[in-house]
């Protein structure tokens, strides 16, 4: 064996060089990405979502098609809002929420594969994130004191940015505390415990007294689907107290979520007490916790006309 | 057949010097492509302060030695000892007073590059003394062509200087076991290592374990009295007596409040902060850290042929040792160098494997073990050539003489050369065939970079597209590193770094798992998920550049 060790080593060396060349030659060319993007652009409808697979490929897809990718698609909790899905994939990857069914269209552009799936959207009667700016925001004061309304501002975005800063206050938000930079309510995109983007209403727990967001005249449908979670760094140490979320419809508690650190992005579903598409009512979402420190909660919800069972 | 070391002489040092100069020339030629990293900018700031103090020491020695001035100039970066930063300061002073180059970063980086070149020289000499010239040369070249160390060799950082200092300590210790005059060199080397970085603290422990092993083997296998390693661990007394005073002498910061300041320095590293590091799809930020991290990262970042050579080298030595133990035959070299090399190769990896040890530095934290890995590689190379030579030479006469080792060496170095060339200037983003390359590492959820140095790779885009006076949100790049890009001429002076995404004309994101947060902050603030430019490396996103639609210039 030993006399042939050199030959074996030389063989390994040649194989490593060959593998190196093969890996590099498998990288899709820029022209492939452009051709794939042109194909998607030609068939895309605004009610559809475009996603990348694998996840790390996402910036390249957003560079090509980002003007067609809204926050709802980029920060989706599920695909219930969309009637079609375009997956721009490389390396044989699948998107994390790609349907199991066969695509109705599939095209290869060099190393880039485009797949299209028709989807049946959920019968959404109301999207709370889309109407967040119309909501009334107030901080419960406790006892008999009336709640303190949060001040709506529409000016410049908040300062800063960077690691550990959670979120930047968007230009338009309801400010609930002048000295606490993150004590505001606004729709934005936040990273959850898995570092995924989530398009949601930033509504941090400011302490034991609830921060309340109230939506008037909401088409109630039959049920409400709510997703929520904490900002990555507030949740990852698993040392904070639970965040309590209570949903009231016309003043009556209808749903709740008790979010423990480590739960990540959680889905809850409950009946609204409405009947199909006809009923309307006032919906309040209250968020509280034992402490107001590092409890950056964000949620998104829809009311739906069906009785449930769909994703 | 066994491979024997040689007594090195002037010609060997000439070859070592040629390796050194050649490598430095390569580093100088390629340094401009690598942007200043986060940590470098901090050491540059400290070096500037130390340079001012040195200038004061020359101009007004008594004033420089006053406590107020020592505290003023030496407080910067007091969490690390001074030697490497003094080298960086010397490079800067030379540049400021003599050469006045138009790339100031190179002046600060020169000290680290010099260490990288000297390290090759030392690896060659050490390897040649242990296993012959061919092995020494192969070891030096294997090390020179390791992709990640090649990146680090460019930097104003401590990792390459401490690697040099540790290899020098090991070499001096090894020589001192039979020649006492090397004890003085060992004391000096350990002092310099202590003054370079805290990795050196473990050296006496490693040497003690090796020393104990040497004596166990001497008892088991016997040795001529003349060739024995003495029982008195003189090396230890020398290290303990000479090392700390050299550290103290070189570090003015600890000349006052010595106990308190040294205590703070030690405590800083014993209770170091934890930073984020992605590994196999998880973002690790708090202990316990995965035990497998340094081993898997070594598999993924060191060329496989180099790893195979090293493992074979270890196997050859291991088999010989077992044979000697069985036959109770003493080793040709009573100092048991293979055990020393193995200990020095593995110790840093084992330390990083401890679940409590931070892993944020990636491979640089166990890079001190790689020179020994490469010496084992050199041994395997020459063993394989020697075993093959009679058969191959019989088949083809052209393979007699140096043709076979030269040709085989070239083929065995080819993967390393390709990987290293391809790793530049992305260094920390590079993964080899063991990971499936850069895209394979992204599939596996490995860390993609750190330190924000890849801003250099988007300077052309910014220079072309950013209007005069534009503000750039620089993400993981520090203000000092950004200004160095301007001083080096890679970015126009009119651009301004900012920490405010909302006020920036352009915002950068250095893609690491946990920097997803910055992406999302930018989306929310700019109202769009579309970057205007994405820098990729083998198709893997490295930096995204966003333009703020709210700011019109």
Q: What tens digit of pLDDT does each residue of B521-539 get? A: 999 999 999 999 999 999 9
Claim to verify: residue B205 and residue B313 sit in the same structural domain: yes
pLDDT at A311 over 60: no
Strand partners, B496: B471
Which tens digit of pLDDT belongs to each residue from B246-259?
Answer: 999 999 999 999 99
Residues of B in contact with A3 (CB under 8 A): 387-388, 390-391
CB A174 within 8 A of CB A158: no
How much of chain A, in percent, has pLDDT values that exceed 70?
A: 97
Question: What's the rounded mean pLDDT across residues B214-230?
Answer: 81
Q: Please, which residues 207-236 of chain A have a Cβ atom closer than 8 Å to chain B?
A: 232-233, 236
Cβ separation of A168 and B408 shorter than 8 Å? no
Which pLDDT value is given to residue A308? 72
pLDDT at A310 over 60: no
Residues of A in contact with B511 (CB under 8 A): 56, 59
pLDDT at A2 over 70: no
Residues of A in contact with B473 (CB under 8 A): 161
Question: What's the rounded mean pLDDT across residues A103-108?
Answer: 98
Task: Please indicate if any CB of chain B lies within 8 Å of the CB of A197.
Answer: yes
* Nearest residue on chain A to B543, alpha-carbon basis: A59
How many domains are contained in chain B? 2
Which pLDDT value is given to residue A44? 98
Q: Please report the sign of the dihedral spanned by the C-alpha atoms of residue A62, residue A64, residue A70, residue A74.
A: negative
Q: Which residue has the higher pLDDT, B503 or B228?
A: B503
Claim to verify: residue B66 and residue B210 sit in the same structural domain: yes
Q: Give residue limits of the domains in chain A.
A: 30-118, 124-304
Domain that holds residue B527: 453-547
Tell the residue number behind the tokens 């993007």, with chain if given. A37
- Selecting from A28, A232, A237 the residue whose C-beta is nearest the C-beta of B539 gives A28
Last residue of a domain, one of B330, B356, B376: B376
Q: Please, which residues 122-181 of chain B have a Cβ atom closer than 8 Å to chain A?
A: none
- Selecting from B414, B524, B528 the residue whose C-beta is nearest the C-beta of A13 gives B414
The alpha carbon of B234 is separated from its chain's Cα centroid by a whole number of angstroms, namely 30
Cβ separation of A23 and B499 shorter than 8 Å? no
CB B19 within 8 A of CB B371: no
Which pLDDT value is given to residue B141? 98
* Nearest residue on chain A to B415, alpha-carbon basis: A17
Has this prediction a pTM greater than 0.90? yes
Q: Classify residue B552 by burial, with Cβ atoms within 10 Å: 0-12, 13-18, 19+.
A: exposed
Residues of A in contact with B376 (CB under 8 A): none
pLDDT at B2 over 90: no
* Inside any domain, residue B218: yes
**Token pair for B335:** 């100092």
Residues of A in contact with B522 (CB under 8 A): 161
* CATH number listed for the domain at residues A124-304: 2.60.120
C-alpha span between B158 and B86 (Å, rounded): 11
Residues of B in contact with A161 (CB under 8 A): 473, 499-502, 507, 518, 521-522, 525
Claim to verify: residue B466 and residue B327 sit in the same structural domain: no
Last residue of a domain, one of B376, B403, B426: B376
C-alpha span between A49 and B156 (Å, rounded): 46
Claim to verify: residue B360 and residue B498 sit in the same structural domain: no
Q: Please, which residues 144-163 of chain A have a Cβ atom closer than 8 Å to chain B?
A: 156-163
Q: How many contacts does A have with B, using Cβ atoms within 8 A?
A: 189
Which pLDDT value is given to residue B34? 98
* Nearest residue on chain A to B518, alpha-carbon basis: A162
pLDDT at A36 over 80: yes
Which pLDDT value is given to residue A307? 74
* Inside any domain, residue B407: no
- Selecting from A9, A23, A157 the residue whose C-beta is nearest the C-beta of B309 gives A9
- Selecting from A20, A162, A197 the residue whose C-beta is nearest the C-beta of B499 gives A162
CA nearest to A202, candidates A70, A296, A71: A296
Question: What's the rounded mean pLDDT across residues A69-92?
Answer: 98
Mutation site, A2, A13, A66, A112, interface B, largest B CB count within 10 A: A13
* Nearest residue on chain A to B514, alpha-carbon basis: A195
Q: Please report the sign of the dihedral spanned by the C-alpha atoms of residue B157, residue B98, residue B33, residue B474.
A: positive
Confidence of residue B360 (pLDDT cuts 50, 70, 90): confident
Which tens digit of pLDDT belongs to each residue from A126-173?
Answer: 999 999 999 999 999 988 899 999 999 999 999 999 999 999 999 999
Which tens digit of pLDDT belongs to each residue from B431-459?
Answer: 999 999 999 999 999 999 999 999 999 99
Task: Please indicate if any CB of chain B lies within 8 Å of the CB of A191.
Answer: yes
* Nearest residue on chain B to A92, alpha-carbon basis: B443
Task: Please indicate if any CB of chain B lies within 8 Å of the CB of A71.
Answer: yes
Cβ separation of B523 and A189 shorter than 8 Å? yes
* Inside any domain, residue B74: yes
Which tens digit of pLDDT belongs to each residue from B89-124?
Answer: 999 999 999 877 789 999 999 999 999 999 999 999
The alpha carbon of B206 is separated from its chain's Cα centroid by a whole number of angstroms, namely 20
* Inside any domain, residue B424: no
Confidence of residue A65 (pLDDT cuts 50, 70, 90): very high
CA nearest to B127, candidates B304, B308, B306, B6: B6
Count of positions (residues) in chain B: 553
Cβ separation of A191 and B520 shorter than 8 Å? yes
Cβ separation of B511 and A60 shorter than 8 Å? no
* Inside any domain, residue B99: yes
Q: What is the CA angle B340-B342-B344, rounded to 5?
A: 70
The alpha carbon of B72 is separated from its chain's Cα centroid by a whole number of angstroms, namely 30
Question: What's the rounded mean pLDDT across residues B115-142?
Answer: 98
| Buried-state track A136-165, b at ≥16 Cβ within 10 A, e below 16 | bbbbbeeeeeebeebeebeeebbebbbbeb
């Amino acid at each position: 064996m030993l006399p042939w060790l050199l030959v074996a080593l030389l063989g390994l060396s040649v194989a490593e060089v060959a593998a190196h060349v093969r890996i590099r030659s498998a990288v899709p060319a820029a022209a492939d990405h452009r051709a794939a993007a042109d194909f998607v652009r030609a068939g895309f409808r605004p009610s559809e979502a475009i996603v990348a697979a694998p996840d790390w490929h996402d910036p390249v897809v957003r560079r090509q098609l980002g003007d067609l990718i809204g926050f709802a698609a980029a920060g989706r909790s599920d695909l219930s809002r969309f009637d079609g899905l375009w997956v721009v994939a490389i390396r044989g990857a699948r998107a994390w929420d790609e349907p199991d069914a066969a695509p109705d269209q599939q095209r290869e552009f060099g190393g880039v594969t485009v797949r299209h799936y028709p989807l049946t959207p959920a019968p959404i009667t109301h999207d709370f994130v889309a109407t967040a700016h119309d909501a009334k925001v107030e901080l419960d004061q406790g006892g008999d004191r009336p709640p303190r309304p949060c001040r709506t501002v529409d000016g410049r975005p908040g300062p800063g940015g960077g690691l550990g800063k959670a979120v930047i206050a968007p230009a338009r938000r309801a400010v609930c505390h002048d000295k606490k930079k993150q004590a505001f309510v606004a729709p934005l995109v936040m990273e959850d415990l898995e570092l995924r983007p989530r398009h949601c209403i930033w509504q941090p727990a400011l302490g034991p007294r609830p921060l309340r967001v109230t939506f008037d005249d909401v088409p109630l449908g039959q049920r409400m689907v709510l997703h929520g979670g904490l900002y990555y760094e507030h949740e990852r140490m698993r040392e904070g107290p639970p965040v309590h979320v209570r949903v009231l419809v016309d003043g009556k508690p209808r749903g709740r979520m008790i979010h423990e650190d480590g739960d990540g992005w959680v889905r809850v579903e409950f009946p609204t007490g409405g009947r199909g598409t006809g009923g309307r009512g006032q919906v309040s979402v209250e968020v509280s916790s034992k402490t107001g420190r590092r409890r950056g909660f964000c949620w998104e919800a829809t009311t739906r006309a069906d009785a449930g069972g769909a994703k | 057949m066994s491979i024997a070391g040689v007594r090195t002489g002037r010609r060997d040092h000439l070859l070592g010097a040629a390796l050194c100069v050649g490598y430095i020339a390569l580093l100088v030629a390629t340094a401009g492509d690598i942007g200043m990293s986060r940590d470098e900018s901090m050491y540059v700031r400290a070096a500037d302060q130390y340079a001012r103090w040195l200038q004061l020491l020359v101009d007004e020695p008594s004033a420089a030695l006053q406590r107020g001035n020592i505290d003023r100039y030496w407080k910067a970066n007091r969490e690390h000892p001074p030697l490497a930063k003094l080298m960086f300061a010397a490079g800067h002073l030379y540049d400021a007073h003599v050469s006045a180059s138009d790339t100031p970063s190179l002046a600060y980086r020169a000290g680290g590059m010099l260490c990288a070149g000297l390290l090759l020289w030392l690896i060659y000499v050490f390897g040649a003394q242990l296993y012959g010239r061919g092995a020494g040369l192969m070891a030096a070249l294997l090390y020179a062509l390791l992709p990640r160390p090649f990146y680090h060799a460019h930097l104003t950082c401590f990792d390459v200087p401490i690697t040099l200092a540790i290899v020098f300590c090991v070499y001096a210790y090894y020589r001192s076991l039979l020649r006492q005059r090397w004890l003085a060199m060992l004391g000096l080397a350990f002092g310099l290592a202590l003054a370079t970085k805290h990795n050196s603290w473990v050296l006496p422990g490693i040497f003690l374990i090796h020393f104990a092993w040497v004596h166990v083997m001497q008892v088991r296998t016997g040795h001529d009295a003349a060739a024995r390693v003495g029982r008195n661990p003189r090396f230890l007394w020398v290290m303990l007596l000479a090392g700390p005073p050299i550290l103290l002498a070189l570090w003015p910061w600890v000349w006052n409040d010595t106990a308190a300041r040294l205590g703070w320095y030690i405590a800083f590293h014993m209770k170091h902060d934890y930073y984020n590091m992605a590994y196999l799809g998880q973002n690790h930020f708090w202990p316990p850290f995965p035990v497998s991290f340094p081993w898997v990262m070594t598999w993924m970042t060191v060329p496989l042929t180099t790893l195979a050579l090293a493992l074979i080298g270890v196997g050859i030595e291991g088999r010989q040792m077992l044979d000697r133990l069985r036959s109770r035959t003493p080793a040709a070299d009573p100092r048991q160098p293979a055990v020393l090399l193995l200990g020095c190769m593995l110790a840093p990896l084992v330390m990083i494997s401890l679940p409590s040890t931070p892993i944020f530095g990636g491979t640089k934290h166990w890079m001190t073990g790689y020179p020994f890995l490469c010496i084992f590689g050199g041994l395997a190379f020459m063993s394989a050539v020697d075993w093959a030579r009679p058969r191959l030479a019989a088949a083809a006469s052209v393979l007699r003489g140096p043709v076979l080792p030269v040709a085989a060496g070239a083929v065995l170095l080819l993967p390393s050369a390709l990987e290293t060339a391809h790793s530049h200037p992305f260094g920390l983003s590079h993964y080899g065939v063991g990971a499936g390359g850069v895209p394979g590492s992204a599939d596996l959820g490995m860390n993609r970079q750190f330190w924000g140095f890849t801003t250099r790779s988007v300077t052309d885009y910014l220079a072309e597209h950013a209007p005069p006076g534009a503000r750039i949100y620089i993400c993981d790049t520090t203000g000092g590193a950004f200004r160095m890009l301007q001083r080096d001429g890679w970015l126009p002076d009119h651009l301004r770094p900012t920490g405010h995404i909302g006020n920036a004309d352009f915002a950068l994101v250095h893609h690491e798992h946990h920097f997803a947060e910055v992406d999302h902050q930018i989306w929310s603030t700019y109202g769009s998920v579309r970057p205007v430019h994405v820098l990729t490396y083998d198709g893997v996103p490295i930096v995204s550049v966003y333009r703020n639609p709210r700011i019109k210039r």
